[in-house]
Amino acid sequence: MEARVKISHFTHKQKTVGDNFVRKSFATNILGSEAVSQHNIALFLLDDEIRFNDRQNIVQHWASSLPVINRSGELLFTGPSISRIFRTAKSIFKPYYDFLVATSYFKHAMPLKAIAIFALFNIANIQATFSVNKACKISYLPNFVMCSEIYDFPHDYPLINNYTVINEKIHGERLSEKTRKGCDSLTSGRKPEREIRRGFPATQVVTKVTEMVLNECAARLGVSLRQTEDTLISTMLASTASFINCVGGVNGDNPTEITRSDVDTVVRALLNNNAYTVLDNIEGEDRFGTAPVRDAYFALCSTQLTGSGGLDSVTGFIQKTQYPSPMNSLRSEWGSIGNLRFLVSSIGSYTPNASNLGANVYNIFCTGIEAYAYIEQDGYSASFIYRPPIYDGPLALNASVGYKFAQVPRITNDLWVINLRATLAV
Amino acid sequence: MTGTTIFTGVFVSVGGSTTISLPFGADWIEVWNGTNIDGNVANGGRYWYQAWNNGINIINGQGLELQGNAGATAVNYIAGPVGAFSLTNTSTAVPGAPVALTAISNAAPPVVATGSTVGLSTNNGVVEIINTTGAQQLGGMTFSVGTVIGNTSFTLKYMPAIVAGTNGFYRIIPFDPIFYPRRRFITAITTGATTQIRMSVDTTYTVGQLVRVVVPAAYGSISQNINGLTGTIQSIVTATNTVTVDINSTGMGTFTFPLTAAVPFTQAQLSPVGSDAPDAGETSNTLLDATLNTAIAGITLQGGTLDSPGGQNGDVIYWRAGSTFQDTGNVYLGGTGVF
């Protein structure tokens, strides 16, 4: 994400500079911030081998899927050449797809003349983030978009915008080029790159996965993973943790809706059991509509308990927007009552039809610090597994991604976690 | 991914339905009844079932059965019996629909009068009592089913006598909480040098496990003494569903099950909190129990009849199940299936 911000900043400056590439490149590094210049030089130091190897791949895929005039074999792209700066991608490629327009810009490397100019600024302590995709081959298209970003961002402002959008899909680092190990995990084509960068020891480049399909899969799998963990923990707690029914309500059910007396009961029980609170208090401030927040245990519950039928109606409820410093609230937090701060989740635990009247019973897990744990088995936590197409079959058609984990949720001290059961107000 | 994952297995039928655990998410299964095949029985030898990802099953869960005529001169695939195959995930099971009851007696155990006992059989199953007039204290509790008289009544197997109630509902609970060991409701406590604790649902505890006794004030004078104590299970009496724990409760008071007017209250419960010795596979007892996820995802084979994939009692059933992946092209570049 760091790269996206910088590039965006850069392009805004670039827009005012002019259309001539050399002038733009030069002027940008003069008029732009030092960080932009540093970024520029860092990007250039990457190996041409990457893009040329990738170019061969993308030609194969485009030919079978997307309409494009393929001029990949032209001399224009055979090596670093200052002539590139006089060619615009739109005059060479005439793709029908915006991404291909962007991709075509990848062919234009930074001119040597410009490099020399950049070098005059004697860049040090470069910390730039850029994206390559050597390890991810579900689709090559976004890969090249990112290569375009690397080499061509001074060229065309509208295309840079495309890059920015794509970059927002960056979710995690796959290969770190900060370490030798990370470099060695790449193909041999990266070796010259390393050698070049050794000449600039202060240069740091972080490689990130920019594969759109893979990133989206990873994002969804990440959500699935965490939700699975949450579900397993809450199910374990619902299966075995001691509970206290809410009894202070007036809905005629057993348990009743949650009330302040029920909160006080469970807090008192945790205190009597010597459970430590999880969060510190939030001191009061002289602000309208706010109130100090006590140090608190976590209360993990379902989003169904929000609103007037649940937490919001409880005496002493403080919505997190009413905290003296809302920045201290958690994203999933709904508010606090007494010494409980309620975190809600759409997959919060409930036992269907388990009340006296057959209503859903919502499990509110009130927990002190270190009340339960997740034990990793076999020495590992969750693993994200990506298998490139080469393992799929002789034609290397399909990749696969997935996750696995071997973890066991356990209560570490049953006195420090209590299931406060409640129904909704009618 | 293109390819197929295959698991195989064999079991001996007990004459009822059998659920095969297939955690990898099988979507097809083949079943051979080795007993019928060896016996040269025309029917009931081979079955095939597939559940496609879009939810369309082969003949709505009936699957296909390879049958022959009486003289075994011809064979053909026909639809299997209704409900022969069903996909099962015990972690997502939901309670049954409410069924009206007309009375809960003051007998020991209490007898629940109802016009429908569909899904219940003697000593098999768990029910939850809902909103019974005069017996509100049972509402929301689960009970193992005792003697069942078809469409007439069933007993709450381990429940002591109560003041009789009248109209209400019950529903079948088709699952246990998936993590073992589970918390259970307490229905009775007998005090003494050791303490005997009876639970409302069949126990799955074992000797040596550590349990915490939670008895709220609504349960009488014993509450203030025994509430919160832990004890190690010394013995288990299956017939009465009672565990004996090493808590000397002499003089602690009396356990009195609340009456209907006590609602709302918190039920007495027995919570597993550990064990006095490491369980199998554990190297120490530094952490508490309830770690075993017993949920099953798989396929249930209907059994009990000749033409059922689950077979009759004693039949040897061979099965092969798999999960097959196919390329649709929809998830790849361009979305046009160009691969």
- Domain range holding B31? 3-84+302-325
DSSP calls for B282-300: -S---S-S--EE---EEEE
The reply to whether A240 touches chain B by the CB within 8 Å rule is: yes
The number of beta carbons lying within 10 Å of the beta carbon of residue B72 is 10
Mutation choice for A interface testing from B283, B333, B339 by most A CBs within 10 A:
B333
CA B190 – CA B243 distance, rounded (Å)? 10
The Cα of B67 is separated from the nearest Cα of chain A by a number of Å equal to 39
A and B: number of Cβ contacts within 8 A = 132
Written as tens digits, the pLDDT of chain B (339 aa) is 456 778 899 999 988 888 898 877 777 888 998 888 888 777 778 888 876 544 445 555 667 777 766 555 667 777 777 778 888 888 877 889 999 999 999 999 999 999 999 989 899 889 999 999 999 999 999 999 999 999 999 999 999 999 999 999 999 998 888 888 889 999 999 999 999 999 999 988 888 888 999 999 999 999 999 999 999 999 999 999 999 999 999 999 999 999 999 999 999 999 988 876 655 555 554 445 556 788 888 888 888 888 888 999 999 999 999 877 655 544 443 333 333
A59-63, A145-149, A268-272 — most confident range: A268-272
Nearest to A247 among B131, B264, B339 (CB): B264
Nearest CA in chain A to B272: A240
Here the tokens at position A372 are 């339960």
In chain B, the number of structural domains is: 3
| Smallest Cα distance from B42 to chain A, Å | 42
pLDDT in tens, B221-234: 999 999 999 999 99
Domain boundary at B122, B157, B172, which? B172
Residue B308 covered by a domain: yes
Find the closest chain B residue to A420 by CA distance.
B266
The minimal CB distance from A235 to the residues B178, B271, B287 is found for B178
User: Is A265 in the B-facing interface, judged by CB distances under 8 Å?
Assistant: no
Confidence of residue A328 (pLDDT cuts 50, 70, 90): confident
**Cβ–Cβ < 8 Å for A1, A164:** no
In a shared domain, residues B183 and B208: yes
C-alpha distances in Å from residue A2, one per residue of A14, A123, A129: 18, 19, 6
Q: What percent of chain A has pLDDT over 90?
A: 30
Q: Please, what sign has the CA dihedral across residues B45, B46, B51, B57? A: negative
| Most A-contacting residue of B169, B287, B292, B325 (CB-CB within 10 A), to test interface | B287
Q: Is B261 inside any structural domain? A: yes
Average pLDDT over residues A385-404: 80
- Assigned domain for B338 exists: no
| Residue B249 burial (10 A CB sphere; 0-12, 13-18, 19+) | buried
The CB density around residue A12, as the number of other CB atoms within 10 Å, is 12
Residues B120 and B196 in one domain: no
Tokens matching residue A259:
């009330």
CATH classification of the domain holding B126: 2.40.30
Whether B28 is covered by a domain: the verdict is yes
B61 token code pair: 């869960």
Beta bridge partners of B178: none
| Closest to B138 (Cα-Cα) out of B126, B129, B146 | B129
- pTM, two decimals, is 0.67
* Range with lowest mean pLDDT among A113-127, A236-250, B293-307: A113-127
How far lies B145's CA from each of A172, A314, B172, B239, in Å? Answer: 53, 39, 10, 13
Shortest CA gap A398–chain B (Å): 6
What residue ranges do the domains of chain A occupy? 2-210, 221-374+411-422
Looking at the structure, tell me whether residues B132 and B107 fall in a common domain: yes
Contact call for residues A314 and A404 (beta carbons, < 8 A): no
The answer to whether residues B289 and B183 belong to one domain is: yes
User: To the nearest whole angstrom, how far is the Cα of B337 from the nearest Cα of chain A?
Assistant: 9
Partner B contacted by A243 (CB < 8 A): yes
Residue of chain B whose Cα is closest to the Cα of A243: B266
Closest residue in B to A64 (Cα–Cα): B338
My answer on whether B7 and B54 are in the same domain is yes
Find the CB nearest A408 among B291, B331, B338.
B291
Whole-number pLDDT of residue B278: 58
Q: At what angle do helices A212-240 and A141-152 cross, to 10 degrees?
A: 120
Question: Which residues in chain B have their CB less than 8 angstroms from residue A61's CB?
Answer: 333
Q: How confident is the model at residue A105 (pLDDT cuts 50, 70, 90)?
A: very low
Q: What does the DSSP assignment read for A25-70?
A: HHHHHHHS-HHHHHHHHHHHTS-HHHHHHHHHHHHHHHHHHS----
Find, among B324, B10, B267, the residue nearest to A354 by Cα: B267
Q: Is residue A402 within 8 angstroms of chain B, CB to CB? A: no
Angle at which helices A48-65 and A191-198 cross, to 10°: 150
| Residues A264-308 pLDDT 10s | 999 999 999 999 999 999 989 898 889 999 999 999 999 999 999
* CA gap B305, B163 in Å, rounded: 43
Same domain, B117 and B216: no
State how far the Cα of A51 lies from the Cα of A424, in Å rounded to an integer. Answer: 60
What is the spatial distance between Cα A367 and Cα B311, in angstroms, rounded to a whole number? 48
Quickly tell me which residue has 């972080």 as its tokens: A206
Q: Within a domain: residue B252?
A: yes
Hey, what long-range contacts does A217-226 have (CB within 8 A, 24 or more apart)? Answer: A217/A138, A217/A401, A218/A171, A218/A172, A218/A384, A218/A401, A219/A169, A219/A171, A221/A384, A221/A401, A221/A402, A221/A403, A222/A171, A222/A384, A222/A403, A224/A403, A225/A382, A225/A403, A225/A405
Cα distance between residue A299 and residue A418, in whole Å: 9
Among chain A residues, the shortest Cα distance to B94 is held by A352
**Of A122-126, A343-347, B184-188, B231-235, which range is least confident?**
A122-126
Measure CB to CB from residue B136 to each of A138, A356, A393 and give the nearest one.
Answer: A356
Phi, psi at residue A178, to the nearest 5°?
A: -70, -25
Using CB atoms within 10 Å of the CB of residue B235, give its burial: 0 to 12 exposed, 13 to 18 middle, 19+ buried.
exposed
